[in-house]
Chain A
Amino acid sequence: MISIQKVSKIYPSRTNQEPTCALDNVSFDVGEKEFVSIVGRSGAGKTTLLKLILANETPSKGNVIFGGKDVHQIKKSQLSCLRQRIGVVFQDYKLFNSKTAHENVAYVMEVMGADEREIQRDVPQILDLVGLGDKANNFPDELSGGEKQRVGIARALIHRPDVILADEPTGNLDPYHTHGIIELLVKIYSMGTTVILATHDKAVINKLGKRVITLENGKLIRDEEKGRFIC
């Protein structure tokens, strides 16, 4: 489904210093209905990798293939079609502050041209699924961190994407909420959606017992089917 082929990403320096190498010749494949965790310290290149899949960054070398297409050969005007096949969960939630929880989730369906009846049927269902059925009309600043992230997950999930990219979704949450969010991602995976989770949370990875790709200084150093977080 996703193929990362010899991808490097080098950020040029703005102050005449050495350019930063965020990813160095990274290659791996992610199949359909797979749960993959990408782990590594801060700055290891996890977020850059997800940005490359989302075509939010362009690789300095190599190719990122999604559904048989090189995502960086897709025209800017067609990028929205690619992104509609992906659900994204951000560490800092990135909710629309002037929209309610319901409207935040409905936005993605509206973008895709879903009709009003569908929206009214699906959004409450997904909010119930993430345990926020009673907070549908609350604005993001009326929600806790965990609730915000659950709205973020509902938004990523509502249009039944082929894959969910979760970039440090528990980074801003306490252990109690972390557990809830990871359980939710596993639930989504068990319903047949590919999940790529970027995290540096050792406890989360060790508990999952699924495929783990470890990055260090931009290099892929480990790719294990039932991996653990090894520093």
Chain B
Amino acid sequence: MLVSFRRIIKMGWKEFSRNMGLSMATIFIMTMVISLATMLFILNPVSKKIVSDVEKRVDVSVYFEEDALEQDIIDAKTEIARIPEVKEIEYISKDQALEIFIDKHKDDPVLIESLTELGYNPFFASLNIKAWSPSQYEQVANLLETGSFKDIISKVDYYQRKSVVEKVFALTDGVNNIGLFLSVILGLIAILIAFNTVRIAIYNSEEEIATMRLVGASNSFVRGPFIVQGIVIGSIAALITFVITFALSYGLDVRLSSLAPEISIFNIFLSNLFLLLLIQLAVGIGLGVISSCIAIRKYLRI
């Protein structure tokens, strides 16, 4: 048993090294397939990060009447914070609102000058509310309008932004769905390409497989070396992809850091280093072995 196992490994390795041209072509295709799987793996957290960044920017603002007392607003804040749909609530006083405006527009002298000419603080105190999920904003807005503090509310800045908010969420949902759809389609294409490449490689050995059976080799003795070749090809392709991913994510990170500093592909790569290597090896070896087994099955019926 052990002798056969050793022989199968030796034969698989010899077949691999003696058919270097075909082995290299299969490794090349496998590398592309594993790269695709890796790309989907890395792009998934990137797209999730983009979507969550967009979602973070959405909130409901409640502006209070000019004569509303700060204590009443803080009471309202406490009451709103009790609403289960509310995730985060932040109080911005009139003065803070002015500071934020000045800080934001300090490079625009016309705006700053007109504010000085106005002679008073035109901003309202407000509460910025974030809900747990996008669908809860409408409920929160409704609750605000029916709460005990409704008399001191000047306006709820949700209905004005409702269509924009809905569009943003439709877009993020779309990105997620398209991502999932593309992952499935590309994954299927990748599997088919890998399978057909291995199938063509084995098709060349059709006659030899038949001869092996006719000279008394058992199915497992015939199949074994092809599976070993599948494992070798899958592993080499996975390791090549790993090196390419390392180089690409580092290179892209340097270029993207000025565009989107909060998204670091290289960090995603580093924090998932072992998982990524495992996935790449699993995809490579899995595809190699499964494709070999399916492709060879047809020729073992002799």
Contacts and interface: CB of A to CB of B under 8 A. Distances in A.
Contacts of B3: 113, 115-116
Contacts of B207: 94
A112 to B, nearest CB: 7
B211 A94 contact: yes
Interface residues of B, number: 22
A98 interface: yes
The 4 closest A-B pairs by CB, nearest first: A84-B216, A83-B216, A94-B211, A80-B218
Interface stretch (A103-111, A176-184, A201-209, A222-230): A103-111
Nearest to B211: A94
Interface in B219-250: 219, 221
Interface of B: 3-4, 7, 11, 14-15, 18-19, 207-208, 211-219, 221, 301-302
A138 interface: no
Contacts of A84: 216
A111 B212 CA distance: 9
A73 interface: no
A23 interface: no
B4 A77 contact: no
B129 to A, nearest CB: 70
A54 interface: yes
Given A56-B214, A96-B208, 16 more contacts: A56-B302, A80-B216, A83-B214, A83-B215, A83-B216, A84-B216, A88-B214, A94-B207, A96-B211, A98-B15, A99-B14, A107-B217, A108-B215, A111-B218, A112-B216, A155-B215
Interface in A102-129: 107-108, 110-113, 115-116
Contacts of A116: 3
Interface in A52-85: 54, 56, 76-77, 79-81, 83-84
Contact of A97 (B11, B208, B213, B219): B208
